[in-house]
Amino acid sequence: MPNPKNSKWFLDYLSPDEGHMHGILTTLYSKKTQFQQMEIMTTGSYGRCLVLDNKMQSSEVDEFIYHEILVHPAMLMHPDPKKVFIVGGGEGATLREVLRHKTVERCLMVDIDEEVVKMSKELLPEYHAGAFDDSRTELKFMDARRCLEESDEKWDVIIIDISEPVEEGPAYLLYTREFYELVTERLTDEGAIALQAGTTAVGRLLNLSAVHKTLEQVFPMVVTMPANIPSFGLPWGFALASKKTDPRKLTAKDVDDMISKRVAGELKYYDGATHLGSMHLPKHVRKAIEAQERIIEDNAPIYTYN
């Protein structure tokens, strides 16, 4: 076995008994912000990475998988999305993918941590690809839930791109029934939302299944979509919820035609065939969702392992 070329390592703990080790070539930035511990590092396998509270958020090599499956299914659920609200989205890649949709006239991105956005803009240019400077972009640095509460403005699509609900972290109240009720009130009649819902790994399905069940209390149509994000070290799941459109009824040709007409440039991960595959969860995940009775609420939040 060859000797490791790295003398420094980042261990992303997946549970008390498991972790994913990344060899660090350089640490570009490390700081405790007002809200969380932030690192931007270059790893041997995945290039530049954003790490928050010691959890891998995205990597240069595979972030396109995460951000395309998070953004495009929800955007295509609306027939003509003009106004989009992004909850979180610090590194700007979600914003980048939203702005690829030709119909978009305005995108408001609300992230609580200005330091994450500032340093991502400087050190992760491949992620945002200039999206922060697009004339359609508006940035606010505040609690996104409070932002939605303080305005009755309606949005066609709301993309929730936040970290996992870590205890005492900034995100756990953005996974609750009360928050999803607020979201649906701020959506237009054909609106849709998308979010990352946690891992689909065997034995680790509480967060994903509870998120799915909680969304079902609010939305008439909920789908959980699997995707493999190699840098995460575990298989992952994304939730899509809509007021009207059922994505399971779309054919591969339907999706490919919409992408061709509505999305600028070529996507690297998501297309019609990928969409069909994303509509089918493994049996053990489906059974976990069916059996789940937990509803996430403000006074009964859920936390993942930190």
The reply to whether 212 and 172 lie within a common domain is yes
Residue 52 sits in the same domain as residue 144: no
Question: 1: pLDDT confidence band, cut at 50, 70 and 90?
Answer: very low
Q: How far apart are CA 51 and CA 10, in angstroms?
A: 10
Same-domain pairing of 17 and 158: no
pLDDT surpasses 50 at 142 = yes
Q: Are residues 39 and 123 in the same domain?
A: no
Q: Looking at residues 158-167, what average pLDDT do you find?
A: 81
Q: Look at residue 7 in the predicted model and tell me its pLDDT.
A: 67
Please count the structural domains in the chain: 2
Does the pTM exceed 0.85? yes
Q: Establish if 287 belongs to a structural domain.
A: yes
Q: Is residue 301 situated within a structural domain?
A: no
- Asked if pLDDT for residue 2 goes beyond 50, the answer is no
Span 165-181, pLDDT tens digits: 655 556 778 889 999 99
Burial of 260 (0-12, 13-18, 19+ CB in 10 A): exposed
Residue 161 falls in the annotated catalytic set: yes
Q: Are residues 24 and 164 in the same domain?
A: no
Do 54 and 72 belong together in one domain? no
Give the pLDDT band of residue 4 (cuts 50, 70, 90): low
- Is 179 part of any domain? yes
Q: Looking at the domain assignment, is residue 97 inside a domain?
A: yes
Residues 238 and 213 in one domain: yes
> Are 55 and 84 in the same domain?
no
Q: Which of 44-58, 128-142, 165-179, 185-199 has the lowest mean pLDDT?
A: 165-179
Residues 6+ apart with CB under 8 A from 140: 108, 109, 110, 111, 147
Q: Do 98 and 44 share a structural domain? A: no
pLDDT of residue 303: 72
- Residue 224 near residue 281, CB atoms below 8 Å: yes
pLDDT tens readout for residues 70-120: 999 999 999 999 999 999 999 999 999 999 999 999 999 999 999 999 999
Where is the domain boundary, 21, 37, 59? 59
Question: Do 255 and 127 have their domain in common?
Answer: yes
Is 149's pLDDT higher than 70? yes
Residues 49 and 69 in one domain: no
Please check whether residue 296 lies inside any domain of the structure: no
Confidence of residue 14 (pLDDT cuts 50, 70, 90): confident
- The answer to the question of residue 302 being in a domain is no
pLDDT at 164: 73
User: Is residue 144 one of the residues assigned to a domain?
Assistant: yes
Given the residues 12, 111, 143, 161, select the one marked as catalytic.
161
306: confidence class by pLDDT, cuts 50, 70, 90: very low
What is residue 249's predicted lDDT score, i.e. its pLDDT? 95
CATH number at residue 37: 2.30.140.10
Domain that holds residue 176: 63-291
Q: What is the pLDDT of residue 95?
A: 98
In a domain, 299, yes or no: no
Percent of the chain with pLDDT over 90: 84
CB of 158 within 8 A of CB of 180? no
What average pLDDT does this structure show over 262-276?
97
At 200, which CATH number? 3.40.50.150
- pLDDT of res. 305: 54
Taking only the tens place, the pLDDT of each residue in 205-261 is: 999 999 999 999 999 999 999 999 999 999 999 999 999 999 999 999 999 999 999
Mean confidence (pLDDT) of the chain: 92
Answer yes or no: do 92 and 44 share one domain. Answer: no
Q: Sign of dihedral through CA atoms 150, 207, 240, 163? A: positive
- Quick one: pLDDT at residue 151? 94
